[in-house]
Amino acid sequence: MRASRIGLTFSYVLLVILSIVSLYPALWIIISAFRPGGAIYSPTFLPDHWTTSHFTELFTDKSFMFGRWYMNTLKIAVFSTIFGTLLVTLVAYSLSRFRFKGRKKVLSLLLILQMFPNLMALTSVFLLLNQFNLLDTHLALIIIYSCGAPVLGMFVVKGYFDTLPLSLEESARIDGASHITVFMKIMLPLSKPILVNSAIGLFTGSWVDFIMARLVLRARENWTVAVGLWELATNFKTANFTMFAAGCLLVALPITLLFIFLQRYIVEGLTAGANKG
């Protein structure tokens, strides 16, 4: 009994330490966003007085087009999430429910593609975009993020479709429902949790991506917020790390709000799946 208490106490202490180590950098960035001056370092954890001038400067500084970059990123992330989720759903449902010639080869190919890092495709992607005159366009990033979604998230969504009972589809088809009706009226409502999870992952990935955006986008007015913040942090002549912290806070805000908003739909989808099963 005493040994179990000691082990439980040790586990709690370890979890507290890990939580502090994980949350401290995030708290430092949040506090630095409201810290006066341009230096992120301070001898005290909390500033003597708080300011919101960094957030105002992000949108009013004429040499720093943060508002435009923010809207560029939002447009790319939203369209990539919509098209990417649609592609993932269709590919996963087709491979889960239908048996056709070459199905195993497609699954093997997708599995092999997941073994290679995305950085290996940068050269080929750049050459293809250059051939189609898509460099320095937002459409290029939307195509890349959307088409890459089935490769990265297809097996997770397919695994969820595999767990749904076939009896639901068979009952619907006995009543005269077509494949499209079964997919729209039965499979999609039951798959809401995994589709929401996939959509959040797609939005987050396209929202914070830097490498691909830096490769494709050249003109300053076409940049995403990740590329713009990178310039702010690496330009030593005009480096303002507290304003960089404010920008990071604004970047994290949509992702946090999206997760909070979609939590309700995740729970509803789980409940619907339990009732249908």
Q: Are residues 60 and 48 in the same domain?
A: no
Q: Are residues 13 and 33 in the same domain?
A: yes
Rounded Cα distance between 89 and 259, Å, is 20
Q: Are residues 194 and 225 in the same domain?
A: yes
Q: Are residues 127 and 227 in the same domain?
A: yes
Q: Are residues 122 and 40 in the same domain?
A: no
Q: Which domain holds residue 252?
A: 55-276
How many CB atoms are located within 10 Å of the residue 212 CB?
23
Q: Are residues 49 and 182 in the same domain?
A: no
- Per-residue tens of pLDDT for the chain, all 277 residues: 677 778 788 888 899 999 888 888 888 888 888 888 766 666 677 777 888 888 888 888 777 888 899 999 999 999 999 999 999 999 888 888 888 888 888 888 888 877 877 778 888 888 999 999 999 999 999 999 998 887 777 888 888 888 888 887 888 888 787 888 888 888 888 888 888 888 888 999 999 999 899 999 989 899 999 998 888 777 655 567 888 888 889 998 888 888 888 877 666 545 444 444 4
Residue 233 tokens, joined: 């942090």
Which amino acid appears at position 115 of this protein? Answer: M
Rounded Cα distance between 275 and 269, Å, is 10
Q: Are residues 126 and 45 in the same domain?
A: no
Which pLDDT score is estimated for 1? Answer: 64
Which pLDDT score is estimated for 239? Answer: 62
Q: Are residues 135 and 239 in the same domain?
A: yes
Against a cut of 0.85, is the pTM above it?
no
Last residue of a domain, one of 36, 53, 70: 53
- Burial 59-96, CB ≥16 within 10 A → b, else e: eeeeebbbebbbebbeebbebbbebbbebbbebbbebb
Residue 240, domain CATH: 1.10.3720.10
Q: Own/partner pairs for 158-162, CB < 8 Å, 24+ apart?
A: 158/92, 158/93, 158/95, 158/96, 160/92, 160/191, 160/193, 160/194, 161/92, 161/93, 161/96, 161/97, 161/187, 161/191, 162/96
CB neighbours of 230 closer than 8 A, spacing ≥ 6?
A: 210, 214
Last residue of a domain, one of 33, 53, 73: 53
Last residue of a domain, one of 17, 34, 53: 53
Which pLDDT score is estimated for 238? Answer: 57
Number of domains present in the structure of the chain: 2
Rounded Cα distance between 268 and 274, Å, is 10
Q: Are residues 79 and 181 in the same domain?
A: yes
